[in-house]
A = this chain, B = another copy of it.
């Protein structure tokens, strides 16, 4: 076996901990550093926080306090917003580290934040390192995977992707973000202000459009609470009828007035029919993909770790899951 790839854990909240547990099971990676800005976490060791067989590394407050070789891979699991991730990414680049990140807005920043994307791309290329944002959503089931499946048919008229998530199977902070047990009007107000809900459905829409070679004229994104009609038990207590049991988001991309891509994200307590991912591609062939078993947090941790195995071999710069090959060309490994 080759020498394991050194990785630095950056961000040790619930997702960072799940990444830690996944790294512990992956012999091709070795943890060499752990960072979190939360001073409370800095009293603990990496293996304690993750409850996993990992090296006994102190959790430090900054990348500057980590000793790792150039080319090490930072596993960033800190923030959803690219503006907040920027300084951490620039510091990683300056230290010669590659980055695989859960930052939702890094997955496809080219349409919403092109200046920031270009800045990071140029810095990474100059530094000879690669940045890659990935997650289950955005990053895989509603964009990369449908874009690959769409290559199977010609004459694509429309693409419909729906992801159904049972939030009862997910961590409590996510159940809070989905407004569980709250008054629907309260939830709608915060959805409208962008204070709760899922980050990244618009990014998935734009990423999928790019993968299809389409330029969308108009994008609409709507979010609404899903109201319970019977009492449900959740990680936040009972959800009485009339209260919020989840959130439905719908993003539609139009070309010349015609809806061409529709993404629907249904995240609710006790989703009817069970959690699943549906992709319908309406082209010369009518393709229908039905995928079950994708668990959001576990899947994001797995994608981060699996891409960490490959990021050193990708061409430098800001890559996306559309530009990142699954493997390097033979002879180029």
Q: Which residues of B contact A301 (CB under 8 A)?
A: 154
Whether A299 is near chain B, meaning CB under 8 Å from some CB there, is: yes
Contact B291 A289 (CB under 8 A): yes
Give the CA-CA distance A292 to B307 in the complex, in Å.
28
List chain B residues, Cβ under 8 A from A141.
152
Within 8 A of B (CB), among A287-333: 287-295, 298-299, 301-303, 305-307, 309, 315, 317-320, 322-332
Contact B330 A299 (CB under 8 A): no
Tell me if B154 and A25 are in contact (CB < 8 A).
yes
Write the nearest CB–CB distance from A156 to chain B, whole angstroms: 9
A285 close to B (CB within 8 Å):
yes
Q: How far is the CA of A118 from the CA of B332 in the complex (A)?
A: 12
CA distance in complex: A154, B75 (Å): 15
* Complex: A325 Cα to B144 Cα, angstroms: 11
The answer to the question of A155 belonging to the interface, with a C-beta cut-off of 8 Å to chain B, is yes
| Contact of A298 (CB < 8 Å), options: B22, B211, B284, B306 | B284
Task: Kindly list chain B residues whose C-beta atoms are within 8 Å of the C-beta of A151.
Answer: 140, 302-303, 306-307, 326
Contact call A319/B329, Cβ cutoff below 8 A? yes
**Residues of B contacting A154 in the complex (Cβ-Cβ under 8 angstroms):** 22, 25-26, 298, 301-302, 305-306
